[in-house]
Structure 1
């Protein structure tokens, strides 16, 4: 069975051109999504098409961008179809994984997607190294700043850990970890447990 899929991004667009092309390509069933962005891969029409596909079927779109705008996601979807023994074809780009030429084009696309991911990863790492070299902090934002830890150390001499943690909007364990991160060692008596007052050792 040949199953087609058509999509338009806005409500004022129509699907006539795509549907006509899919019918001309011999599609037995056509599923559609109307007014849904290609950036979204959770679409009712697409989901219904995926459910209808069985081994030996071919999934057809008028143009690749009707399926999605992310090359990485497109590759994942088509590879998933292949794993289920379902063919894939895009009419405009003349891609048909059922033919040697179409398979070659798809493999080139997959290689380009992998190359793109590698470049992004390299740029991200280079950016982090450059930021570190400039003295900027890289990664997750700390729950408490160095100044807040110093303030908290003073408060702990008069208030319980829970009270001080609540003041800074963090969990008592987070408070303790933050203090130790700044080199402020604290201790707690076993009898006082979580609500105990921590004192500097």
Structure 2
């Protein structure tokens, strides 16, 4: 039996690509959810794992199929989850990405690759933060700060709640300061502004 799991980090991200990939792989039972990989509890993943264990206990060979390893987890968390699947005699398969293929979670190669996937994310994050700090130290603005302001952010959030596209949101905003005063921000600037707001909000709500 092949059980599928799909995950997106935010409610605005589509699961279509992942679900289509799983269906193409012959998966008929798919669990999916929109939740951060950092969440301590992922209900749909727990349901998928529970079904897999129950089916395996009844004597059925079971494989958990995921579009890409990042949808399941990274680094040590991914290795630990994979090890639990191995202990329950459940196979693991990724349809694409760095860990593409079927894996033996107890193997050294898988463990190393899983750890490296987590290290890569932390490396990119650290380098990005260092770059931002360096730029601020030189007096440069980050993430479109030269043209955005609280009023623009408030309006952008309101328009996003109405499911408008980035292009449509940008078309209704006006820059009120700096050299571009009176012009419209670009969709990329709107994206950065909203992303920074979401990241800040997520950090503020962390326990």
Name the TM-score, length of structure 1 as normaliser.
0.49
Mark the structure with the bigger radius of gyration: 1
Give the alignment's TM-score, normalised by structure 2.
0.48
